Amino acid sequence: MNTKGVTLQPEFEKAIVDMKYTELTEIQERCIPLIQQGKDIVGLAYTGSGKTAAYGLPSLEKVLPKDGIQMLVIVPTRELCTQVAGEFKKFTKYRKTSIVEIYGGMPMGPQVANLRRADVIVGTPGRLLDHLSRGTFDLYEIKILVLDEADKMFDMGFVEDIKKIIAEVPKNSQKLLFGATMPTEIMKIARKYLNDPEKITLRQYVDRTKLIQSYYEVSKDDKFSLLVHLLKKEQTGLTLIFCGTRNFVDMVNTNLNKQNIKSEALHGGISQYKRNQIMDAFKNGKINVLVATDVAARGIDVKNISSIINYDLPRTPEEYVHRIGRTARAGTEGKAISLLTGRDSGNIRRIFGDNFLSVHKVKNSQFEHVSFVMTETEHEHRGDYRGSSRSRGRSGGGREGDRPSSKYKSFSRSRNNKRW
């Protein structure tokens, strides 16, 4: 393996060879030496850049098995929690480190039992606060804290939750913060809690030679018909469709099923057991089409997605890039298609304004009109989609980030009570 001059401990070198890594990515090459040196990091990295290994490998090197909880990774969604924990288990194949996942939608009892042997915790903010308020574990011996997808956690309204968790971590612990974007609020957190952090930014995050980006302009009444046409006539392989709200995810998925298109819906309102089943089916090719919200899709790490379809246009250019980064990975080709109606006209330049993206308009082909059964009004959909995602996270409209199940309590346990 070409490690580009980066040295890892033998157990980790052997593990990544087993995982068929051929060379380090840019984010890994730049972050690993700095994390090994004990530096705090603020990293701007998009899906597919390899950031889990960038912070995971050098951090896990510092974790001593059976020596208490030494590392905490906070993520916004259950899917990302499972994904990160799964990668960590592969990294530590020859180190035998105990990696424990903590997220909502699952019984507390087994998690409490697993925490007694944990070396590393990967968890969502709400469930972590649930456990901390119950005193089932503490963070007094944490060496490394990671905030992964920090921008999405903050956008979902978890700023105060994150602050409460950070307050329980030793001030001299190493802190690593990663996100697809770095808005002002995140930088305030970095300045307050991180110690002279190194800022790592990946500027070139879309491979235009592998990714074909296009958009169609279509009337609102023909939008679903065009989607069906594309899926039946022009799409091959796995397709990920993005919608702006849970309700529209469900509606699009239901209507696709009526058109004999084998699809599933993925969002925070679906039970964790069902979400795991859906993701396994998608990864294994048992279903070819997945309809999802942005939040739920943050944890999707499927290597062979051939097409991304924006049924609803995202709110920001950064979110657009984060979506399309799920295809054309590892040297493979992919497509990113956006379906635009009249209400999107004001956002086209803002979303596609970066010349680097090279998005081109496609002339509509002839397609059959099919029915689309609505379960809410277009007005309600528009209001929900255009509303603040921060307010949705606070309102209880979604549990994607696993809000605490009870009112937050201050932690007053003795610092001598380190483990059960």
Tens-binned pLDDT, residue by residue, of the chain (420 aa): 556 689 999 999 999 999 988 888 889 999 999 999 999 999 987 767 789 999 999 999 999 999 999 999 999 988 889 989 999 999 999 998 999 999 988 899 999 999 999 999 999 999 999 999 999 999 999 999 999 988 888 878 888 999 999 999 999 999 999 987 777 778 888 999 999 999 998 755 555 667 888 999 999 999 999 999 999 987 778 999 999 999 999 999 999 999 999 999 998 888 878 888 898 899 888 999 999 998 666 666 677 888 999 999 988 777 887 788 777 665 567 888 999 998 887 777 778 776 556 788 898 878 999 999 987 544 444 443 333 333 333 333 334 456 555 444 444 443 333 332
**CA proximity to 296, closest of 230, 237, 250:** 250
Q: Quick one: 184 and 275 in the same domain?
A: no
Q: Quick one: 195 and 288 in the same domain?
A: no
Within 99-238, residue ranges assigned H as helices are 108-115, 125-134, 150-155, 159-167, 184-193, 223-229
Within 64-147, residue ranges assigned H as helices are 78-91, 108-115, 125-134
Helix, strand, coil percentages, rounded to 5, for the chain = 40, 15, 45
Q: Quick one: 217 and 191 in the same domain?
A: no
Q: Residues 335-348, buried b or exposed e (16+ Cβ, 10 A)?
A: bbbbbbbeebeebb
Residue 194 in any domain: the answer is yes
Residue 419 in any domain: the answer is no
Q: Quick one: 326 and 350 in the same domain?
A: yes
Q: Quick one: 174 and 73 in the same domain?
A: yes
Residue 124 in any domain: the answer is yes
SS3 call for 4: coil
CATH number at 142 reads: 3.40.50.300
Could you tell me whether strands 174-179 and 144-147 are parallel, antiparallel, or unpaired per DSSP bridges?
A: parallel
User: Among residues 173, 201, 229, which one ends one of the domains?
Assistant: 201
Q: Quick one: 92 and 193 in the same domain?
A: yes
Q: Quick one: 172 and 96 in the same domain?
A: yes
The residue segments making up the domain with residue 176 are 10-201
Q: Are 87 and 99 in contact (CB under 8 A)?
A: no
pTM of the model: 0.70
Q: Residues 382-397, buried b or exposed e (16+ Cβ, 10 A)?
A: eebbeeebeebbeeeb
What tokens appear for 234 in the block?
A: 């022009």
Residue 187 in any domain: the answer is yes
User: Among residues 201, 234, 256, which one ends one of the domains?
Assistant: 201
Residue 292 in any domain: the answer is yes
Q: Quick one: 220 and 339 in the same domain?
A: yes
Residue 343 in any domain: the answer is yes
The number of domains in the chain is 2
Q: Quick one: 22 and 121 in the same domain?
A: yes
Q: Quick one: 218 and 183 in the same domain?
A: no
Q: Quick one: 62 and 159 in the same domain?
A: yes
What tokens appear for 148 in the block?
A: 């992964």
Distance from C-alpha of 216 to C-alpha of 364, rounded to nearest angstrom = 7
Q: Quick one: 153 and 285 in the same domain?
A: no
User: Among residues 179, 201, 223, which one ends one of the domains?
Assistant: 201
Residue 399 in any domain: the answer is no
Residue 4 in any domain: the answer is no
Q: Count CA within 13 A, CB hemisphere, residue 126.
A: 23
